[in-house]
A and B are shown apart, each in its own frame.
Chain A
Amino acid sequence: MKILLVAEYRDGQLLGTSSELINFATSMGAESAMFLVGSENKLPSYNGRIYLADSGQAGEFNPDGHKQLLLEVIAKEQPQMVVLPHSSYGWDLAPRVALALKAAQISEVVEVRDGHLVVPACNAKLRRQLKPVTDNCVVTLQGGAFTPSEEPSGTPEVIKVEATAAGAVQFHGYEEAAATGVDLSKADIIVSAGRGIGKPENLEIIENLAKALKGEYGASRPVVDAEWADQSRQVGTTGQTVSPKLYVACGISGAIQHLAGMKKSEFVLAINTDKDAPIGEIADVLAVADLKQLVPILTEKLNAL
């Protein structure tokens, strides 16, 4: 089998997902080549061919242009599988390429079992094993699912491809997250609120536990989207990635995007009414309880110590 890997580049930097792509190809026992719109000064360590288009010419974000370049490389390499990260770059580009190839796309692969691709469903409560019926397929990989134990090595052979097509979408640059006072990545203890807090007034319960533990409070995405907590408090893929000594997840079911932002915590205590919540998969301790009852009692007892 031959796989074409599509690496990501943003704001002048190669993104770390390329090592996950390489590891996926290795785990499939497949021959691989890589495609990158980036810079020859920022190449991944990789023992293979990289088809490189210059991001200065092709644009860092140019869906039509990247699709055309990728299709040209696919025509040359004839891979059976095209693999991208399941990221804002990958999920945008992958369906465009899949349709042009008349190929099935399998999104957010977390595992390969018996040679078949496994994807999550229903907030990670189910898994589906899927098989493309088409000869070729496009695949996106869930972030972190194929992280290699060792970083790949080697120097790639670079084959330059020329960018031409202007696209229908114009890109006008990046807007960085507003600088905030809270750097959760430096906190040793984080107590986070999820949808389970039920209403904004209950955020205080979480803040009080954080205070009792001399830590910071955080929040999951739904709490931030509902404007119950500031965006600077958000833990997860689109917020901050944290690795505290203690992470207390209160009323957080454990969506993949949240887990990706906190699973490197040393010790995870989850408080949730649902014993089967996905957060239980990575929690060291899951207390099955209503946070609105348990957290105030816990806080009171901690303050009395």
Chain B
Amino acid sequence: MKILVCIKQVPDMESKFKVNAAGNWFDETDLAWRMNEYDEYAVEQAVQLKEQNPDAELTVLCIGPERVKETMKKALAMGCDRGYHIADNDSHLKDPFAIASLIAGYAKDQSFDLIFTGMQSQDRGSAQVGVLVAEILGIPSLTTLVEFSYADGTINAKRELEGGTKAKVSCATPALVTCQLGLNTPRYPTLPNIMKAKKKELLSVPVEELNPPALLIETLQVAPPEKKGGGLILEGDPAELADQLIKILKEKTTALA
């Protein structure tokens, strides 16, 4: 059995974001990078599937500049066997179709039984890449999964819908699944596994060799949202803040009536 998991490196979403000089994305200065949260669930599910099928081979794929290798190493330490890095300093300028085409271009000759992706990225959130990869490859895809099981060439899963409802779905492999938060509990890599990961294969291929397609989307502008006035902002000593808040709650709400 061959498994692929596709991950993305994103900035910590708690960061403050400034628009870059080119005006087409954020400035990277002082940002801390981590694995896209949705992809952590994808890696965990892929590793669990590998553990369930000991002969399985699990590859992790990531597109981006040199720094994304750090995130790939985390996936290797979580249990992926090898890494395939598409080295691309301009990955942030690519649209979902271009990213999906690069992934599908790699996957098409590899006969993966299962491909895992996050359901979306935390920074762009298009929720397109996984489905596009599957459609380009001509395999079924199940999206937004909060439960997953695999046996004998069939995936049984639950999709998360709105309002707490789930849809029970299944399909045959080869297939692609996109993982929603809460699908499992992503493991923390142990120190021995972090050491082992350093010795695992991590192949890096320049994106120029892979003929990325022309872009379908042009970015006209990136800017912070306009402040819609917002409310009152209070700062200061906690005890004084508490008094101010109680006064406001008395005046503006019926909560203390």
The chain A residues found within 8 Å of chain B, CB to CB, are: 10-11, 61, 63-64, 86-89, 91-92, 94-96, 98-100, 103-108, 116, 120-134, 167-177, 188-189, 213, 215, 221-222, 224-225, 227, 231, 234, 237-241, 245-246, 253, 266-269, 274-276, 280-281, 283-290, 293-294, 297-298, 301-302, 305
Nearest CB on A from B217, distance (A): 5
CA distance A100 to B220 in the complex (A): 25
Please state if B131 and A169 are interface contacts (CB–CB under 8 Å): no
Please state if B168 and A171 are interface contacts (CB–CB under 8 Å): yes
Contact of B224 among A125, A221, A227, A301 (CB under 8 A): A125
Nearest CB on B from A11, distance (A): 8
Please state if B243 and A301 are interface contacts (CB–CB under 8 Å): yes
Asked if B161 is at the interface of the complex by the 8 Å CB criterion, the answer is yes
Contact of A95 among B15, B128, B249 (CB under 8 A): B128
The interface size bin for chain B is: 35 or more
The 10 closest A-B pairs by CB, nearest first: A177-B164, A104-B216, A168-B140, A95-B131, A172-B168, A91-B127, A129-B221, A107-B126, A225-B182, A298-B242
Contact of A174 among B11, B165, B234, B253 (CB under 8 A): B165
The chain B residues found within 8 Å of chain A, CB to CB, are: 11, 13-17, 19, 26, 95-97, 119-120, 122-128, 131-132, 135-136, 139-144, 158-172, 175, 181-182, 185, 214-225, 227-228, 230-235, 238-239, 241-246, 248-249, 252-256
CA distance A221 to B122 in the complex (A): 14
**Chain B contact residues, majority secondary structure:** mixed
CA distance A29 to B15 in the complex (A): 38
Contacts of B14 in A (CB 8 A): 253, 274
**Chain A contact residues, majority secondary structure:** mixed
Q: Given A172-B170, A284-B252, A294-B241 in contact, is the A123-B165 Cβ separation under 8 Å? A: no
Nearest CB on A from B70, distance (A): 20
Please state if B234 and A287 are interface contacts (CB–CB under 8 Å): yes
Please state if A106 and B131 are interface contacts (CB–CB under 8 Å): no
Contact of B217 among A63, A92, A133 (CB under 8 A): A133
Nearest CB on A from B205, distance (A): 24
CA distance A230 to B158 in the complex (A): 19
Q: Given A239-B164, A266-B253 in contact, is the A169-B233 Cβ separation under 8 Å? A: no
Can you give 6 contacting A-B residue pairs, CB < 8 Å? A106-B217, A125-B13, A172-B169, A267-B252, A280-B233, A302-B256
Q: Given A286-B234, A294-B238 in contact, is the A245-B254 Cβ separation under 8 Å? A: yes
Please state if A175 and B158 are interface contacts (CB–CB under 8 Å): yes
CA distance A298 to B239 in the complex (A): 8
Contacts of B123 in A (CB 8 A): 121-122
Q: Given A130-B217, A238-B163, A286-B233 in contact, is the A267-B253 Cβ separation under 8 Å? A: yes
Please state if B230 and A286 are interface contacts (CB–CB under 8 Å): yes
CA distance A283 to B217 in the complex (A): 34
